[in-house]
Amino acid sequence: MQKILIIGATSAIAEAVARVYATRAASVFLVARNATRLDTIAADLRVRGARRVDSAVLDVNDIDEHAVVLDTAWATLEGVDTVLIAHGTLPDQAACDASVEVSLMEFATNGTSTIALAAELATRLQSGSSLAVISSVAGDRGRGSNYLYGSAKAAVTAFTSGLGQRLRPQGVNVITIKPGFVDTPMTASFKKGLLWATPDSIARGIVAAIDKRRAVAYLPSFWWAIMQVIRNIPESIFRRIKL
């Protein structure tokens, strides 16, 4: 029986991942800020076949509460074998440009809180377990349109890469998930095109990456090729491009 902990469980991608595990009759522990949404998702997962579903409310920026909630999850499920960290926001870069306070707040939500959770989880995970962390292709190179978000995700990517190297000898696999454009409520105002994916397709990719004990997963996979090109554009040329 799989025991799954999902942090940021009310996000569209995380909810889709939870549905996949429910069909496998897994036990699932959900963590997010919105108690009402957690209850709604939990009820749906039970109908879909989850063995049990429990939840806890957490503001991820309340670092002192991380250990408390993780202790609750471990005690409730009697151990956890798979963790997905999926919370995040999509900052308004103009608002970040105008305010150091906003910049630091958004960096904390998208970067620091994730790193703190992963570090706390590293002390609990046992051999054979997996930690999947949603970063972003935006972390592969800073772009003028969203470099605050990108810098936070770059920090997450570097941290999970190092953490994965550190924990591998202990049998713990750390997977860095790098989605491209995903059609979610967070991106509702964006014009959609051929490069956009659905939360369900990204969720299937995440679960497959966990099952295969991958180290990095670009989702959809074509983003690996796109980011190879973008990362290798000389800086002198890159700065003239509007991205």
Q: What is the pLDDT along the chain (243 residues), one digit of tens a residue?
A: 899 999 999 999 999 999 999 999 999 999 999 999 999 999 999 999 999 999 999 999 999 999 999 999 999 999 999 999 999 999 999 999 999 999 999 999 999 999 999 999 999 999 999 999 999 999 999 999 999 999 999 999 999 999 999 999 999 999 999 999 898 888 877 788 888 999 999 999 999 999 999 999 999 999 999 999 999 999 999 999 988
Q: Give the per-residue pLDDT at 165.
A: 98
In a domain, 46, yes or no: yes
Give the Cα separation of 42 and 127 in Å (integer): 28
Residue 27 lies in a domain: yes
| Residue 113 resides in a domain | yes
Q: What was the pLDDT predicted at 203?
A: 98
Q: Classify the C-alpha dihedral 113-166-11-177 as positive or negative.
A: positive
Alpha carbons within 13 A on the beta-carbon side of 55: 24
* Type of residue at 143: R
Is 59 inside any structural domain? yes
Region label for 49, one of left (φ > 0), alpha (ψ between -120 and 50) or beta (otherwise): left
The answer to whether position 54 is within a domain reads yes
pLDDT attached to residue 61: 98
Q: Which pLDDT does position 235 carry in this prediction?
A: 94
25 and 44 Cβ atoms separated by less than 8 Å: no
**Residue 24, in any domain of the structure:** yes
Is 171 inside any structural domain?
Answer: yes
CATH of the domain at 132: 3.40.50.720
In a domain, 243, yes or no: no
pTM score:
0.95
Q: Phi-psi category of 3—alpha, beta or left, where left has phi over 0 and alpha has psi -120 to 50?
A: beta
Query: Measured between alpha carbons, how far is 149 from 105 in angstroms, rounded to an integer?
Result: 11
Range of the domain at 123: 3-238
Instruction: Write down the residue that tokens 């956009």 correspond to.
Output: 196
Q: For position 184, what pLDDT does the model report?
A: 86
Domain count, the chain: 1
* Helical residues (DSSP H) of the chain, grouped into ranges: 12-23, 35-48, 66-77, 93-98, 100-107, 113-122, 147-167, 199-211, 223-231, 235-238
